[in-house]
Amino acid sequence: MNNSRWLRPFLVVVAVLIFVASLMISNLLVGSLEVHVKDLEVHVKDMETHVKDFESHLKGMEAHVKDMEIHVKGLEGVVEERKQEELNKMKLWVEAMTSIYKADTNTDLNLAISVLESNNTIPMVVIDKKGKVNNYRNIVLAEGCDTMALVNGVVERAKEKGYLIKMDMGMSVYYDESLVLSRLSGILEAQSVLLDSQSQLLSSQSKLLERQSQLLGRQSQLLDSQYQLLEGLSYYPYVQLTVLLLFFVICILAVLSSKRAEQNRVWVGLSKETAHQLGTPISSLMAWTEVLKEKYPDDELIPEMERDVARLQRVAERFSKIGSMPEPVPVDIVDVVEGAVGYVKRRSPAQVEYEVVLPEHPLMVPMNAPLVEWVLENLCKNAVDAMNGSGKITVTVSHDEKSVYVDVADTGKGIAKSCQKRVFEPGYTTKKRGWGLGLSLAKRIVEQYHKGRIFVKNSVQGKGTTFRVELKK
């Protein structure tokens, strides 16, 4: 009875203390939220300024691209005029040459000869009807070079460009662009490439501006919701008092109730269920992405979220199987290679070129596909790092009667012979931030789990490295 007499006053005091502490905490939360809202206001204003500046920059880029287009068109006109001028000169030269061949002893050839001698800029070759070189002019002959090779080079380029004029005597005149025209064509080509790159940059900058505007809109929406939350917190003390009174009544009823043990079992069950739900966060993320997809079907970020969640699921599956011996099943190695290369390619710099050489038919290999795919991804990522983000990666799949081979070759800096066996040792790395565990884990997956081999097939410093993964059929 004495315990029951002091129980209620004790609970009242505890409730008051909890209420006061809760008010203090709520005031601290409101103060911190006000600071957060002010910071968010400043951030939104800075974003608005940034978006406006970006729009001005984009308009300047658009004007620059238009000026470049006008310049390129003008340069194209100059090149075409020069080509027509050289064509007319060559036609006049052919007419003069024809008149000389047809002239008799009484014909005045001074004009024809002056026309022939006036062509001192356009490289040309005269081929007779038997296909032999009859004459050539204006071809720069370097000391020690093969003269006929240079002449034949002019003829081949003329054939590719269609620079040919037929003569009446069965002869053919092939000519090439003059040095001035060649340089103008080179400048035109360079300007066209620059214009294309500027246009692509303008397009990417426009997309970036669109994303920045979308982000600004979301930040503004977040700021509005923070304002609403801050306003709602003004009623928070009254809500706290109501909840506290309810809690006090429930505590009194719980103390005096004869079913306290049963309630304890319920709470234990709820705790276990909560722990179980926390053990499956990936499933929850997948469910939320489906909800977001239904609510925002046109949001282009949701597919990326789905791919990342799927990626998390695969990673969880991989690492859950590393501690135990996985059971191999027949899988098409072509699909595994395409999946690994495709994943790394999407996350590689644009300067990295990929070439995948695959057999024309499916190639079934007993394996644990997620682990083998991780091994190939690790090799491709190491290749990208070895090339410093620029170069070519070639993945080749081949096979014989007993084994399947996957070669991953790069054009990176290569590996010294003294280090080729050490690269698979735990802790060995040449990266500043690397742990040196990737190739060690890859070796364990291939050799211990799949009874295969992984090794450095060849490596030349300064030219590149080829890793080979060998799996048994």
Instruction: Decide: 138 and 118 in contact? Cβ < 8 Å.
Output: no
pLDDT average, residue stretch 4-11:
63
Same domain? For 143 and 26 the reply is no
Question: For position 407, what pLDDT does the model report?
Answer: 96
Which pLDDT score, from 0 to 100, does residue 312 have? Answer: 64
Q: What is the pLDDT of residues 362-383, one digit of tens each?
A: 899 999 888 899 899 999 999 9
Find the range with the poorest average confidence among 42-51, 94-103, 162-171, 256-265. Answer: 256-265
What pLDDT is stored for residue 269 in this prediction? 42
Highest mean pLDDT among 196-200, 213-217, 321-325: 196-200
Q: Which residue has the higher pLDDT, 431 or 186?
A: 186
> Is position 269 within any domain?
no
Q: Is residue 39 part of a domain?
A: yes
Helix/strand/coil percentages in the chain, nearest 5:
65, 15, 20
Domain annotation covers residue 268 = no
One-letter amino acid of 201: L
Residue 27 lies in a domain: yes
Q: Within this chain, do residues 319 and 335 fall inside the same structural domain, yes or no? A: no
* Res 433: pLDDT: 64
| Confidence bin at 2 (pLDDT 50/70/90) | very low
CA pair distance 129, 385, nearest whole angstrom: 59
The winner for highest mean pLDDT among 84-93, 299-308, 460-469 is 460-469
Question: Which residues in 107-139 are b (16+ Cβ under 10 Å) and which e?
Answer: eeeeebeebeeebeebbbbbbeeeeeeeebbbe
Q: What is the mean pLDDT of residues 155-162?
A: 84
Q: How far apart are CA 464 and CA 460, in angstroms?
A: 6
Q: Residue 271 falls within a domain, yes or no?
A: no
CATH number at residue 407: 3.30.565.10
Please give the tally of structural domains in the chain.
4
How would residue 136 be classed by pLDDT, with cut points 50, 70 and 90? confident
Residue 127 lies in a domain: yes
Phi, psi (rounded to 5 degrees) for 425: -80, 140
Predicted TM-score (pTM) of the model is 0.39
Q: Which domain holds residue 236?
A: 1-120+180-261
Quick one: 452 and 316 in the same domain?
no
Q: What is the mean pLDDT of residues 28-55?
A: 81
Q: Is the pLDDT of residue 177 over 50?
A: yes
Question: Does residue 127 carry a pLDDT above 60?
Answer: yes
Supply φ then ψ for residue 403, to 5 degrees: -135, 165
Mean pLDDT of the chain: 79
In a shared domain, residues 45 and 129: no
Domain presence at residue 166: yes
Is residue 447 included in any domain, yes or no?
Answer: yes
Lowest-confidence segment of 28-37, 174-183, 429-438 by average pLDDT: 429-438
76 with 107, same domain: the answer is yes
Among candidate residues 133, 158, 176, the one where a domain is terminated: 176
Q: Report pLDDT digits (tens) over 266-305.
A: 433 433 343 334 346 767 777 778 877 788 777 777 777 7
48 and 188 share a domain? Answer: yes
Highest mean pLDDT pick, 7-21, 209-223, 391-405: 391-405
pLDDT in tens, 342-364: 989 988 888 999 999 999 888 99
Residues 136 and 114 in one domain: no
